[in-house]
Amino acid sequence: MTKRGSREEAEVTSTPALTRRSMLSAILGAASAGIAGAASGETQPSALDGPSVPPDPTRVPGTGPSAFGERSSFARLSRRAAFGVISGTPLQDLHGTITPADLHFERHHAGIPTIDPANHALMIHGLVDRPLRFEIADLLRFPAVTRTCFIECSGNLRTDAGPETTPQELCGLTSQSEWTGVALSTLLREAGLSPSARWLLAEGSDAAIMARSIPIEKALDDAFVAYAQNGEPLRPGQGYPIRLVLPGFEGNTHVKWLRRIEVADRPFMTREETSKYTEPLRGGRARAFSFTMDARSIITTPTYPAQLERGWHEIRGLAWSGRGRIVRVEVSVDGGARWQEARLIGPALPTAHTRFGLPWKWTGSGAELSSRAIDETGYVQPTRRALIDVRGPGALPYHLNPITSWLVESDGRVLYKSEGWS
């Protein structure tokens, strides 16, 4: 992996409320499965916590209701953390399109800050008629907006992945939530934009003081300040108490722990939009402010580490586009020689993960499964070769959305078709 944040860039914050038991299962979980969800305090039940299973569940009273629901200890789901600054969503273990909040991928440039919402506010200043300061309670009083959309890190492709790579490890830096908050246009109207306003700076209150320039058109279109995720307050890892959501834009612009918006007549040229989050092109040039996430898809089952049985299966996966709706997903089982139209399962919302499926009978011979997404602008997900031709083998793999394939071996093993990036 060339870009996954470097160690010196950030530190993992430890979760304040680790109990002895959760600490123990965190350590056991991390040690036994190589799973480091422990770093964020998201622990899985360990063998020690396992329930005693009665031979016949109808013969014994069940357990009672509780303050918090927990996942079945048979349903083992976890994020995989790396370098202390990133963790991926286990795409291969999920269904539908909503990512459970505790499995939303995480990318923190300087850890998760602990913020008391009572002491947090959002400032709007710069080229405005009235500089304003909003408490969280103020934000909750404005008309709410709710939108289901993905957030995807533009570094979401592991270019050095070998055959034994899961979808989570390959491209688990995309997740989807139903976000609720207040439209940024509403807040900007309160402050009154000056006619020369063209760009905003959005700044977070983490130790990285991460900041990005946002074009005014996006700010006035569908940008919003979210305070809730899947019906509950944002998780600390997702920006509690507030984050910016810019549907379809690269993950980095969705500034978490948002504290300040400054309005200006030009971009601010912050570190994250100059030395980072730009894409090298052929001929020694680079593109910058490449906000929109291009259409992409990935098969989530069957993929590594599945062991396939002969007979009928449904090839399933996710497709999404930062430019709008997914209109079509095509699947090939013969390495791209022929493509079949998959069924879209559930609604195809704009800038949202869309589930697709295609029933397929595996007869026991080798197969190569691939998917390609087409969005409402007619954009077709490119091949790896086409992307390399345009970008060159540049050092920073941002905005790479190649068609991805999985090889089914005659013994039923499923492996990522690893081709490198050159």
Ligand X SMILES: Nc1nc2c(c(=O)[nH]1)N[C@H]1C(S)=C(S)[C@@H](COP(=O)(O)O)O[C@H]1N2
Contact track, Mo ion, 198-237, x by CB under 5 A: ----------------------------------------
Q: Is 80 in the site for ligand X (CB under 6 A)?
A: no
CA distance 80 to 418: 20
Q: Is the Cβ of residue 353 or residue 372 nearer to Mo ion in the bound state?
A: 353
CA distance 295 to 190: 35
CA distance 137 to 54: 48
CA 265, distance to chain mean position in Å, is: 31
Q: Is 105 in the site for ligand X (CB under 6 A)?
A: yes
Q: Is 399 in the site for ligand X (CB under 6 A)?
A: no
CA distance 320 to 351: 6
User: Judged by CB under 6 A, which of 88, 251, 267, 302 binds ligand X?
Assistant: 251
Q: Is the Cβ of residue 329 or residue 396 nearer to ligand X in the bound state?
A: 396
CA distance 377 to 295: 10
CA distance 133 to 125: 9
Q: Is 278 in the site for Mo ion (CB under 5 A)?
A: no
Q: Is 120 in the site for ligand X (CB under 6 A)?
A: no
Contact partner at residue 416 from Mo ion, ligand X, none, CB < 5 to 8 Å by partner kind: none
By CB under 6 A, the residues from 137 to 156 that bind ligand X are: 151, 153
* CB atoms inside a 10 Å sphere around CB 369: 25
* CB atoms inside a 10 Å sphere around CB 85: 21
Nearest to 400 by CA among 185, 192, 158: 158
Q: Which residues of 209-219 are buried (b: 16+ CB within 10 A; e: fewer)?
A: ebbbbbbbebb
User: Judged by CB under 6 A, which of 148, 159, 238, 354 binds ligand X?
Assistant: 238
Q: Is 107 in the site for Mo ion (CB under 5 A)?
A: yes
CA distance 13 to 301: 33
Q: Is 108 in the site for ligand X (CB under 6 A)?
A: yes
Closest distance to ligand X from the beta carbon of 173 (Å): 6
How many residues sit in the footprint of ligand X (CB under 6 A)?
21
Using Cβ positions, the residue closest to ligand X within the complex turns out to be 204
* Backbone Cα Rg of the chain: 22
In the complex, which residues of this chain contact Mo ion (CB under 5 A)?
107, 153, 251-252
In the complex, which residues of this chain contact ligand X (CB under 6 A)?
104-109, 151, 153, 175, 204, 206, 208, 210, 237-238, 251-252, 254-257
